[in-house]
Chains A and B, each alone.
Chain A
Amino acid sequence: MAEILEIQEEHHTNLLPTPDNGEGGEKTAMNISYGKTMMWYFLLSDAFTFSAFLIAYASIRLAQAWWPNPNLVFKSFPGLGHTNAPLAFVSVMTFILILSSVAVVRAVQEGHRMNQKGVMLWMIGGIVGGAMFLGCQAWEWNHLIAEGLRPFYNPFGPDANGVTHLVEEHMAVSPGPIAFGALFFGITGFHGFHVFTGVCINIWAFFATANGTFQRRGHYEMIEKVGLYWHFVDLVWVFVFLAFYLM
């Protein structure tokens, strides 16, 4: 018995087939499977897409003489009417997204333990969190559109002292820079599209788990890959949040 183990150990370093081509081969880069390699490179590529958008945002915004104050634009909260709660709602949104990421971390962990029920439970958490985030985003978009924000028009303009006001309330002397709406809808929309695809993928992963696909396969690597995408979407939000709400 000990002999066999020793031989297997030896094979592990020399001849043991790697899982990737099933027939043995050279050590893979970083010792990860081709699926994860692909996911990492895809995320790198997607990071470049978002970077390009955020750089476009920075370059356009810095060229403007005046920019709306986010504390005075994003101050509403659902169900509270004309309230002044700067950034409160977006903080809730962000918190929900982070919680959903935590749930997916737990799903991956349960996957390592080969616990099918656990993976299913925590994936539901991830899906619900993502769906809630999308719902919040829909409300926020709806609210801003109701206030008059469009990709080609920005009602948040400066008053005589440069303080942000809605044009409709006759406080602002002129509409604000029109790039504001275009950038806001464009970039949060592109991020929201990523969240939406992420939720769809998570739902697929949930059903695949429920069907026992990964249990039969002997590993839950797919949940890890799905999780990588989900954390990436979460991470991108941090930058979008920074750009639009905090700066």
Chain B
Amino acid sequence: MQTTTVHETHADVHVHGPGHGGGHHHTETFISKYIFSLDHKTIGKQFLIMGMAWAIIGGFMSVLFRVQLGWPDETFPVLERIFSTWFTDGKLNPEAYYSLITMHGTIMVFFVLTASLSGTFANVLIPLQIGARDMASPLMNALSFWFFFIAGVVMFASLFLPTGAASAGWTIYPPLSALPQTSPGSGNGMTFWLIAMVLFVASTLLGGLNYVSTVLNMRTKGMTMFRLPLTVWALFFTAIIGILSFPVLVSCVVLLIFDRGLGTSFYLSNIVIGGKALPYAGGSPILFQHLFWFLGHPEVYIIILPAMGMVSEILAVHSRKPIFGYKAMIFSILGITVLGFIVWAHHMYLSGMNPFLGSVFTLFTLLIAIPSAVKVFNWLTTLWRGNIRITPPSMFAIGFVSMFISGGLTGIWLGNSTIDIQLHDTYFVVAHFHIVMGIAAFFGMFAGIYHWFPRMFGRMMNETMAYIHFAITFIGAYLIFWPMHFIGLAGVPRRYYSFNEIEAFSQYGDLNKLISVATIIVFLGQFLFLVNFFWSMYRGRKSVQNPWQANTLEWTSPIEGIHGNWDGELPTVHRWPYDYSRDPNSDIDFIPQTVPLTEEEKKDKIHH
């Protein structure tokens, strides 16, 4: 009697729900399977491949301008032959230099570390780790990728404009970005940049709404919020930050488009160019900075939170220990999310903003050190006396913690409005944010790729290549950015094309050479990763079902990856994801989330 009722209800609701029952096999063409796919795993891979392409482009741009900064007196006819529009007489044009740093920042911040990092891992991991067949709306998910793709096409096309790509820096401060007569890159290049970013925000919004509603509404039986892996928690809050901050970038960009196209004066006032007074009046460039950084600061948490989530998961799995302070981790993510919205003006201490406001923002900025430190201590205590397995993911995860500490400590310097008077817009800032959100996020991303590669492609990556890749990247990243702290303390400003004419700064020429050499080596080192990635995809050792002996649900779904993720019923969850090494007498040191609680466990109520 009972089973009949269950069955009927089940079938009835199934018809109305959007769920994709396991075991359905549609006839799929190459295009529907790999290109216009609605499967979250495929969309995740699309984000990943696009992100890798963008990372190579963005990384190569940094090589080009590091060549200029490292050897300002040399000429490079070879480079001129390849990039004839950017070089004159074997030297990088100043206009091209500014376009390159602008596009390097834009590509790395938005296209690689926002869209690709979140896009890849939210897509691959959220449905698999919460026990869902797919995203809440697979169509919106696919649209999110294609908006990202089109935004990329527009941004890439801007590199080939006769007047060059946008060159006002990735923060596109007006009036430089608003007036085409101020620099060649502020012409069509900036227009393309703005269009690309509006498309990009549409992509972020479509993806973010989907991630949030999937986490809230699609969890399988037993997967309560406090049984979610920390990856999912981090991706969830990342999506919320994106939903709330990117719209403000839209407002900011729309007003800039009006200033450029309709002659309005939102950000412009009293400007004289070439002796000619322009008619703009009453606008405020500081207003732009407020609107921009209201996105721009939460943006750094959009970048770092997914990496933090993955590192938490990976450290627990590879040190065979429960994550230390699971709830503290969640509440620190929440704390970072909330505080992240009220610290934006620490980018603007020297903008002419009221100094009193500066001290308020100093307070909030320093408060963020608390949840950040909670996370760092929890990672260290997770590692502490763990049965650490040295694997590529664990190396990169530990590398992440190292980078986050190094970069985080300089953040405490920069958060103080008084110290910022000396350090603002110097190489100290460049070193700080590259280590804490650039390199650290890349390390999180690499850790994630090495860890979930078997989940994505059913094969293992080559470990030898991975360790060499780790060594080059880890040592190289410190070689690039550590010296920049000292150059920055000496007051060397960022974004300058050449220091030849400035004696106080040209004395750091040798350090700049060292940095440039390290940059080139690290850039080349990444090709080892690429080779490993594509070689392993086809030739790598076949992965077993659960190669890292992890507890989370994604390792219970067939490793070859099927549409709908699980054959038959969805798994039921009985415990939190961090039951590692619970029984010292047992050979098996992990208990997957699908294993029911024993009678003893039911009695002690901790962690379930």
A152 touches B282 (CB 8 A): no
Give the interface residue-count category, chain A: 35 or more
A63 touches B282 (CB 8 A): yes
Interface Cβ pair total, 8 Å cutoff: 183
Residues in B with CB closer than 8 Å to A3 are: 1
A178 to B218, CA, bound (A): 51
A56 touches B18 (CB 8 A): no
A218 touches B569 (CB 8 A): no
A23 touches B210 (CB 8 A): no
B284 touches A60 (CB 8 A): yes
How many Å from the CB of B296 to the closest CB on chain A? 13
- The reply on B247 being an interface residue by CB < 8 A is yes
- The reply on A21 being an interface residue by CB < 8 A is yes
Q: Of B2, B209, B258, which contacts A182 at CB under 8 A?
A: B258
B14 touches A152 (CB 8 A): no
Q: Of A24, A56, A60, A178, which contacts B221 at CB under 8 A?
A: A24
User: In chain B between 397 and 452, which residues have their CB closer than 8 angstroms to a CB of chain A?
Assistant: none
Closest to B282 in A: A179
Closest to A190 in B: B254
Contact A26 to B282, CB < 8 A, known contacts A8-B5, A49-B251, A179-B266:
no
Q: Of B9, B14, B132, which contacts A16 at CB under 8 A?
A: B9
A37 touches B263 (CB 8 A): no
- The reply on B23 being an interface residue by CB < 8 A is no
Closest to A177 in B: B282
Q: Of B10, B132, B247, which contacts A48 at CB under 8 A?
A: B247
A50 to B217, CA, bound (A): 28
Closest to B239 in A: A41
- The reply on A46 being an interface residue by CB < 8 A is yes
A50 to B247, CA, bound (A): 9
Residues in B with CB closer than 8 Å to A28 are: 216-217
A71 to B245, CA, bound (A): 35
A20 touches B218 (CB 8 A): yes
Residues in A with CB closer than 8 Å to B255 are: 53, 56, 186
Q: Of A15, A18, A59, A217, which contacts B284 at CB under 8 A?
A: A59
B6 touches A11 (CB 8 A): yes
A56 to B132, CA, bound (A): 42
Residues in A with CB closer than 8 Å to B570 are: 21, 23-25
B residues lining the A interface (CB < 8 Å): 1-2, 5-6, 9-10, 13-14, 16-19, 21, 131-133, 136-137, 205, 208-210, 212-214, 216-224, 240, 243-248, 250-252, 254-255, 258, 262-266, 279, 281-284, 287, 290-291, 294, 569-570
Ordered by A's residue number, 20 sampled pairs between the chains whose C-beta atoms are within 8 Å are A3-B1, A11-B9, A16-B9, A21-B19, A21-B220, A22-B14, A23-B17, A24-B10, A24-B570, A26-B224, A33-B217, A34-B136, A37-B217, A42-B209, A48-B245, A52-B291, A60-B284, A151-B264, A152-B263, A186-B264
A residues lining the B interface (CB < 8 Å): 3-4, 7-8, 11, 15-26, 28-29, 33-35, 37-38, 41-42, 44-46, 48-53, 56, 59-60, 63-64, 151-152, 177-179, 181-182, 186, 190, 217-218
